[in-house]
Amino acid sequence: RRERQRQYCQKDFVFRAKVLGKLYRGEETRYDVQIIHTYRNRYRLEHREFLWVQNVCDCPKLEEGKQYILMVRRHINYEHTLNRILMEEESYVVPYRPREDELLRPLERLCSNRGPKEPAELGV
């Protein structure tokens, strides 16, 4: 329970997605997912997105056709040439069940779902 809440508040994205495909690309795996429901998104999400994971341990392992609750982060490389959703070994990933949905909804009130503030809001 505590881990779910911690990751919910820390990650850039929390959503339910269906895995449509999987492609090995060198040292990474790219998952093609359909976003079904967003709980928290600090940045804009499309209806279909790519999730990237390092091929260190093939984990977390996602099966095509299945739905998952994912808590992941946005990754922008040093040169600002890559902007993508990164799934890491410690990312919160569980198969979707209605019970999980019930446990996540109250967290929306605990953690702000808004993205970074605009400069005008900061008084700049």
CB 116 within 8 A of CB 41: no
Report the CATH number of the 2-110 domain. 2.40.50.120
* Model pLDDT, residue 77: 73
H or E segment to which residue 37 belongs: strand 28-41
Q: How confident is the model at residue 121 (pLDDT cuts 50, 70, 90)?
A: very low
pLDDT 10s digits, 66-96: 999 999 998 877 666 667 899 988 899 999 9
The domain limits of the chain are: 2-110
Average pLDDT, rounded, for the chain: 83
Greater confidence (122 vs 106) lies with 106
